[in-house]
Structure formats: C-alpha cells, structure tokens
Amino acid sequence: MAASTERVDVFWDSGMLNHNSGTGVFDTGMDPGFLDVLEKHPENSDRVKNMVSILKRGPISPYISWLPGRHALLPELLTFHSPEYINELVEADKEGGKMLCAGTFLNPGSWDASLLAAGTTLSAMKHVLDGNGKIAYALVRPPGHHAQPTRADGYCFLNNAGLAVQLALDSGCAKVAVIDIDVHYGNGTAEGFYRSDKVLTTSLHMNHGTWGPSHPQNGSIHELGEGEGFGYNLNIPLPNGTGDRGYVYAMNELVAPAVRKFEPEMIVLVIGQDSSAFDPNGRQCLTMEGYREIGKIVRSLVDRHCGGRLLIVQEGGYHITYSAYCLHATLEGVLNLLIPLLSDPIAYYPEDERLSVERIESIKRFQKDTVLFLKGH
C-alpha cells in the first residue's frame, strides 16, 4: 500500500458533544415516576467520547490523523433538504427546542451540533475530492441517515451522508455508491436519491419495517427507487440474529456485485455499530471480526473502482464500550491491516447462518429478476 492510503483522516469537533438528547425510559424522554434511575437517551455523547478516545489512545492511533470540523452553512443544507424543513429546525431552535418525532429531541445546543455534524461531513468529503487524502471518516453526531429531505426521523435532523453525496455529484463525480451497515434502514438517504440513477444506495438492516409517520418507508426489497432511479435502491433486510458470516455473505453476494456493476467514482460507507451482538437498539449479531471483514470488502471495492477514495460517515451504535471496539475493527479492515490490532473483549457469539443465507439467496433472485442493471451479472 502507498503511504497515503495507510491512514484514516478523522474529522471531528467536540462541539457535537453539546447535543443533549435527555433522559428517560430508553429514547422516549418519559419519566414514569416510579423508576429511581432514568437512563440517558441511547444517542448520547458518551458513546462518541469512547469512539474518539479509542482512536486517540487505542492501537490504531498511529494510523489516524485528526482534522477539524466546521459548521455547515444554510445554503449547503438546501442541496438535500427543503427550505421549509430547514426553517422548521431554525425556528424550533429559536423557541428553545422541540420533539420533532418519537425519540428525536431538538434541545438547546442540538441545532449547533447538527450544523457541526453536517459541515464536518462536508469537509471530510471535500478533503477526499480535493485529493488531500484517500480515506476520510466523519466522526459526527447527531446521526443523519434517517433525516429525509422534508422531515426529521430516528434521532436524525440533517442527513450528513446525503449532503456529502450531493457534494460529490456537484463536484463532478458521475456516480456515487452508498453502503449503509447501520442496523436500521438508511431511509433518509434512500429517499433523497430515490429518483436518481447517479446514486446507488444499498442498506443492510434488520427487518424492522415502518415505525410511524416520520418513517413511512419499510425497507423491503420492493423499495427499489422510482423513475430513472428504479433499481438503484437496493434494500437487504436481514433476519434478526444475523451475525458475522451472514453479513459477510450479504456483502459478497449482493453488495459487492452491485457496486462492481454500477462502477462508482466514489463510495460512502455509512457505519452504525448498532448491528453488533450487544447493542440495545438492534437485534443483529455482528462482532468485531464481522466489522473488520466488512471494512476489508469495502476497501477492495474502493481500490478497484474509486482510486482508493472512501468517505466513512458515523451513524448509530449505542453500546457505550463495544461500539468503540467495533469502530476500531471496521477501520482496521478499511486499512487492510494483515493482523488484528485489538482483540474482542466480550464476543463469543454462536452463529447459525443458514436462515440468513437462505434469505440472501432469495433477495439475490429477486434483484436479478427485477433490477435491469444487475441482469446477466
């Protein structure tokens, strides 16, 4: 590997810690009055503090360089979001906060953190597009992949990854592929490019379906895109309990062939460690080894199609410690390191991948029969 590809340029700003999503019963913000201990909202600053510290002091630290974040400008937000929606967020911030939908609280400090998350992700993408680095990681919160052009959803206000994809298109990239491994469907990113054949959105997620007015999409294999975009949104709803071997099988049998056929000039890897075996917000069973293997597969794709250029964007991951370990493993894989740098502190999880393989084969048959650009491949 060339020296320029032996590092990950991490974009970060501590101001994103100022988004306080509150306490209550899990993510509800509710105090029932009979619990002595209310827990922090799962999307809290502690999870990201550990991600920062493991990259600064963990064994991967020699491979990490740190770059500053910035606030997004309002005109930049309008490349993905509607003016009416952005105005709703601005007004909610002026009025001291608002619950925008279930579990999604814009509190004092949240809008500033959201602007930092969006701007930091845009800076990371521009860094790669300008040739200043090959692999950039936007370590950001609040997360973004559920935020749709016209509404908030699932702890997300601004779609950081979607804004970065649009920047790549506006900067001359003919085609961009998104690979989303968060345990929840990346519905906001999909919605933003649902009618475009310039963006291939792929999402591996648990089969959770819709969860209300803020999330009308169900993440099924039938949500393929519309118009020119038909066939360019590939959903991979995996059975609950899918582990390392199941995820790697899906990557090799569904994601990698689609990306190779699409031939993108840029890949955005959207990561959430909530697909781990120990996450309170997901029902999948990835361990560090699975994340490491996913990172290696994505690295092979960017080396083949994108000149090694990759943007990684942080989304979910709510186990305060294991999420940081799984991030470490993902970046080890992306760096294509021959020997793992960090052993898994808790994972032994028995896996029977037969149901996952059966489901993946069924999805493969459906896609090959339905998606024009995959036929014959």
**DSSP letters along 282-345, please?**
---BB-HHHHHHHHHHHHHHHHHHSTT-EEEEE-----TTHHHHHHHHHHHHHTT-SS-SS--S
Give dist(CA 212, CA 192) in Å, integer.
19
CA angle 31, 159, 360 (to 5 degrees): 90
Are 139 and 324 contacting, i.e. CB atoms less than 8 angstroms apart? no
Give dist(CA 258, CA 373) in Å, integer.
8
Are 306 and 263 contacting, i.e. CB atoms less than 8 angstroms apart? no
Are 238 and 275 contacting, i.e. CB atoms less than 8 angstroms apart? no
The label of the residue with tokens 């490349």 reads: 79
The label of the residue with tokens 């930049």 reads: 76
> How much is the CA Rg of the chain, to the nearest whole Å?
19
Angle between helices 160-170 and 110-129 (to 10 degrees): 30
Give dist(CA 103, CA 297) in Å, integer.
33
Give dist(CA 240, CA 275) in Å, integer.
10
Residue 229 backbone phi and psi in degrees, to 5: -85, 0
Start-to-end CA distance of the chain, whole Å, equals 30
Give dist(CA 30, CA 160) in Å, integer.
28
Give dist(CA 133, CA 9) in Å, integer.
7
DSSP type of residue 134: S
Is 146 catalytic? The answer is yes
Candidates 19, 146, 184, 319; catalytic one? 146
Instruction: Identify the sign of the CA torsion 340, 342, 348, 353.
Output: negative
Give dist(CA 201, CA 145) in Å, integer.
11
- Catalytic machinery residues: 146
